[in-house]
Chains A and B, each alone.
Chain A
Amino acid sequence: MSGHIVPRRIYYGIFAALMTLTLLTVWVAFQDVDTHLWGVHIALNPVIALAIATTKALLVVLYFMHVRYSSKLTKVTVLAGFFWLGILLVMTMGDYISREWIKLPGN
């Protein structure tokens, strides 16, 4: 018994989407997408780059890695993995970003 057989045209479609997104991420890196929000200067380039990378990763996980067609147990396992990665990144960065906000003695 083997896993779900994904039609080849889906693989070709995902490949085309991944290539297009790669070109898009290179192009957008050279564009001026900085913005100002309530007087705060915000560089949007890294945000867009990470959003594109996450879209690409999602396409790979769902279609190339068959998670869309997998059992609920596999889906929960994959989701738990990325959720834990999220905890690591969000809590660590939340700490480092907010350290500058309050001036404490010796800081």
Chain B
Amino acid sequence: MSHSPEAASHPALQHHFDSMEQQHGATTLGMWLFLVQEIMFFGGLFTVYFVYRLKYFTAFAAGSNTLDIRWGAINTAILIGSSLTMALAVHAAQTGRRKLLVLFLGFTMLLGAGFLGVKAAEYHEKFESHHVPGPAFHLDSHDKRFQGVDASNVQLFFSLYFAMTGMHALHMVIGLGILSVLLVKSWKGRFSPEYNSPVELTGLYWHFVDIVWIYLFPLLYLVDRYHHY
């Protein structure tokens, strides 16, 4: 491979790489290796979920039916929208459009914050209903959704609900932190068609978090809805 001298002497080129191409390839692979371990990390949570859902299906269905599908669906749409603006931010960085890049990173952060706001409202409702696992956990015995189900197994569903959505939300918060750093750097014009790996790799992270939610939504919100209505 031949490299132009300009590309090889780019100020963003770290000394241990021969060229910008090599640097980009290595950082992309590194990011994917990180994401692969993230797949295994969330995979453990999903495995626990599947094992207990199989064992206590009716309790999981009862717990799932207390969640509001509208909020879950709206948050899914918000997150998919933020993935679109993130992808468009990467496009703006690759084509060297600084203002568009700043704008799309800003949109992505706004949508991410909107997602967390909806999540906070949902958590608030769960605290008010005493559906949060712990000493205050309580199921309304007159509610016919809970007839004939073991409350401790419904509590297990909510433990997984909070563990999985909480870990997902933590990833969103970290993503927002990274995006705010990118926003400042973009504003200062640090990225160009020659050098934009940080934007692209943050995009990979953001889309990965989107994928986790794409699975969380049907698994937590849509359990056995047909038989309950």
Contacts and interface: CB of A to CB of B under 8 A. Distances in A.
Interface of A: 1-3, 5-6, 8, 11-12, 14-15, 18-19, 22, 25-26, 29-34, 43, 45-46, 49-50, 52-53, 56-57, 60-61, 64-66, 70-71, 73-74, 77-78, 80-82, 84-85, 88-89, 92-93, 96-97
Interface stretch (B79-87, B121-129, B132-140, B166-174): B79-87
A66 B24 CA distance: 14
Interface of B: 7, 19-21, 23-25, 28-29, 32-33, 35-36, 39-40, 43-44, 46-47, 50-51, 54-55, 69, 73, 76-77, 80-81, 83-84, 86-88, 91, 93-95, 193-197, 200, 203-204, 207-208, 210-211, 214-215, 217-219, 222-226, 229
A26 B33 contact: no
A76 to B, nearest CB: 10
A1 B21 contact: yes
Contact of B87 (A11, A80, A84): A11
Chain A interface, >50% SS class: helix
Contacts of A85: 39-40, 43
Nearest to A67: B32
Nearest to B20: A1
A33 B225 CA distance: 12
A8 B100 CA distance: 13
Contact of B25 (A50, A71, A81, A92): A71
Contacts of B207: 60-61, 64-65
